[in-house]
Amino acid sequence: MQVQLETLGALERRLNITLPMADIDAQVAQRLQRVARTAKVQGFRPGKAPLKIVEQNYGAQVREDVLGEEVQKSFAKAIQEQKIDIAGYPRFEPFDNQTATGESFTFSAVFEVYPEVTVGDLSGQEIAKATCDVTEAEIDKTIDILRKQRTRFNHAERAAQAGDRVTIDFKGTIDGEAFAGGSADNYSFVLGEGQMLPEFETGVTGMSEGETKDVPLNFPEDYHGKDVAGKQAVFAITLKNVAEPQLPEVDADFAKNLGVTDGDVAKMRDEISKNVTREAKRRLQARVKEGVMQALLDVTPIELPKSLIDMEIGRLMQQAREDMMQRGYGAQMKDMPLPRELFEEQAKRRVSLGLILAEVVEKHSLSATPEQVKAFITEQAESYENPQEVIDWYYASPERLDGPASVVLEDNVVAFVLSQAKVNEQAVPFEELMGNN
């Protein structure tokens, strides 16, 4: 076998491989003899046709099969001998087995190689590290949110006010004409939550059960309904029911409702504290991880193999389709083309980070240790009712440890980068961190 490597671009290569035809012819002859033992040829019993006849009937296909297998085997051997690290899949230039005659057979494979990755100097990078203290005040706020989520509404014999759930009939008109989507019966919403336009809610506020009145309303210019955007409408509104909110007391029943079987309120607060602290930690880690990844990208210019970008775009497109199908949009997504441009930047970022992280992990020995993986799984299991069952599930199958190991590996990279860069700690309000603003 003769091998010649050509450089076509920064990452693109062509490998020209020449094989002796004598070896190929010998393999073809051996395979034809095996085929002849069972070959069905018209006019002969199975396996009794002369080899010449078998060759006439099966020779072309057998030769094509042998050539295809030899192309794959010789290519794999060549890249191993040449110590070539291929990115993506090779493109074999078409060959015609009818031309594979004479003393040799030559084919070419075009492919990309992985780029050399050199991580730049991180000492000049500034990374914001968010901090947030979870105090008793934050636990109280969380309990208030949980109470509001379990609000009950009781009928009220008074005028509607902010916080009430009202049930109304309404009919909207523009210039005296009804319009699509402008009418509804027995429609319920909570005043003050912004579900309806401010002028609409202001008009309902102060109404009493059984009252009817006309409420003028100006639709904003940027209103999502283009047919009515910027127009003035009048809504005839009839208030049918007023219900005032009643928050549950923080007592044994409330604790039981949150899963504390014995109704111990102190135990409930402790569980909430653990859960909130765990979630705050996760969000803080996600923020600093994003800063670390951006810092690595900023100091590491890298030439990306087009084949890896294409593969990543394909994965992202498939994920998008599966996500839409899970949301119930399968029928619409079935034949709808997804523009590749929507995924290109994300794909480039993910490919870049994959290459950079691999280099950092290898160079600084940052792979996850079994002890780190076990500690991570144990911590995650604490949020479940039976932590040991969760731990046992992970360790029941080795491949289940891949996910936790990947997270730990990234955490190791984050810790390493933070040790090299300038870290600015920034206190973040609890509400901002948890997205409750």
pLDDT in tens, 26-62: 988 988 888 888 888 877 878 778 888 878 888 889 8
Q: What is the pLDDT of residue 265?
A: 95
* Residues 125, 132: Cα–Cα separation, whole Å: 23
* pLDDT at residue 146, as a whole number: 94
pLDDT band at 338 (very low <50, low <70, confident <90, very high): confident
Residues 104-113, mean pLDDT to the nearest whole number: 91
Q: What is the pLDDT of residue 332?
A: 61
Contacts of 66 (CB under 8 A, 6+ apart): 24, 27, 28, 31
Residues 291-310 have pLDDT tens digits of: 999 999 999 999 999 999 99
Measured in degrees and rounded to the nearest 5, phi and psi for residue 119 equal -75, 130
Residue with tokens 């199958």: 397
| The pLDDT of residue 206 is above 90 | yes
pLDDT of residue 324: 83
CA distance 273 to 135: 9
State yes or no: pLDDT of 98 exceeds 70: no
Cα–Cα distance between 14 and 11 in angstroms, integer? 10
Q: What is the DSSP letter of 368?
A: P
Per-residue model confidence (pLDDT) at position 437? 44
pLDDT at 385: 81
Which one, of 431, 388, 258, 279, lies nearest residue 266 by Cα?
Answer: 258
Of the candidates 141, 263, 158, 136, the one whose C-alpha atom is nearest the C-alpha of residue 208 is 158
The reported pLDDT for the residue numbered 335 is 65
**Average of pLDDT values for 157-185?**
95
Q: What is the per-residue pLDDT for 334?
A: 63
Query: Residue 398 gets which letter from DSSP?
Result: G
Alpha-carbon span 211 to 12, nearest angstrom: 77
Task: Give yes or no for residue 256 having a pLDDT over 60.
Answer: yes
Distances from the Cα of 57 to the Cα of 36, 60, 250, angstroms: 10, 8, 86
Structure token digits, residue 376: 């991570």
Q: Is the pLDDT of residue 99 over 70?
A: no
Give residue 111's pLDDT band: very low, low, confident or very high (50, 70, 90): very high
Mean pLDDT of 349-357: 96
* Range among 16-25, 43-52, 162-171 with highest mean pLDDT value: 162-171
Q: How far is CA 225 from the centre of its chain?
A: 31
Instruction: Supply angle C-alpha 278, 144, 241, rounded to 5.
Output: 135
Q: How confident is the model at residue 100 (pLDDT cuts 50, 70, 90)?
A: low
Using DSSP's 3-state secondary structure scheme, residue 12 falls into strand
pTM over 0.85: no
Half-sphere exposure of residue 354: CA atoms within 13 angstroms, side-chain side: 15
User: Phi and psi (nearest 5°) for 109?
Assistant: -130, 125
What residues pair up with 167 in beta bridges, in sequence order? 188, 241
Residue 325 banded pLDDT, cuts 50, 70, 90: confident
379-435 tens-digit pLDDT: 999 888 899 999 999 999 999 999 999 999 999 999 999 999 999 999 999 989 988
Contact by Cβ (8 Å): 217, 233? yes
Cα(69)–Cα(63) distance, integer angstroms = 10
Given a contact cutoff of 8 angstroms between Cβ atoms, the answer to whether 417 and 359 are in contact is no
CB 13 within 8 Å of CB 110 = yes
Task: Give the pair of three-digit tokens for residue 180.
Answer: 């699509």
